[in-house]
Structure 1
Amino acid sequence: MLTYDFAPLLRTAVGFERLARQAEAAARFDDTNGYPPYDIEAAGEDHYRITLAVAGFSSGELEIETQDNTLTVTGKKAEKQGETTGYLHKGIASRGFARRFSLADHVRVTGANLADGLLTIDLVREIPEAMTPPPGSRSRAKPPPAC
């Protein structure tokens, strides 16, 4: 596994702590197994949808959690006691998983639905009113006068 050290880049950076944490987390996170597969859609200007293929999992075996701008979807299969099935071929994945997604500021989960083996998570970006500029206040910066 390749490791990156971002410390030299951040010695002179001010206010980029969150970006640094995200970069380090991305470098540490091993996402090479690709399980479960997922899609990310833009469902509108500020609406998004993540769909994960979680065939074989019930809603009680899935957990959705957001913390520090990270959405984590966890699947835990219940242990089957005394199962004596002799598989000739076992190709359907039944292992647990934890899939993480980095969320932008002000993005929150608005709902989730499990149907036909697909877990759909709806997200919305809601910028606080105090942070939005008043209408008509956007103006282009004038170029400096020519000398």
Structure 2
Amino acid sequence: MTTINVNGQAYEVAVEPETPLLWILRDTLGLTGTKYGCGIAQCGACTVLVDGQAIRSCQMPVDSVGSADIRTIEAIERDEIGRKVVEAWVQEQVPQCGYCQSGQVMAATALLKQNPHPTDSDIADAMTNLCRCGTYNRVASAIHQAAG
């Protein structure tokens, strides 16, 4: 049995220690807002916050999580910065297909927690999540708006 802290709640899960965090979130806990994209930590659709850092959950084994605070898209609006990011995402009409957006929002929230007033260069460096629809300009605009 492994205990993990997700969105402010402790969960005991019976999984193998090497099970990726993504599968525990989606399959065991039913938190399906975090998406499976590539499975090799390249696309960012699976991004969650682990102790405030943007982490690709598809490659993070649960045994490496320990007592860390895990936040998913389901709880991001409980965070003041996360709420501002979501509001800016809506105002800037960032999503098109929407598949990558939960990971994008999580990465943007982590960026603004570390750097409250990022430059365009800071945003480009931090926002490595892929978007097949190409909404990168609107992502950057929404991040600037959320930084306000």
Instruction: State the TM-score, normalizing by the size of structure 2.
Output: 0.22
Higher helix share: 2
Task: Identify which of structures 1 and 2 has the higher relative contact order when contacts are C-alpha pairs closer than 8 Å and 6+ apart.
Answer: 2
Larger CA Rg, structure 1 vs 2:
1
Higher strand share: 1
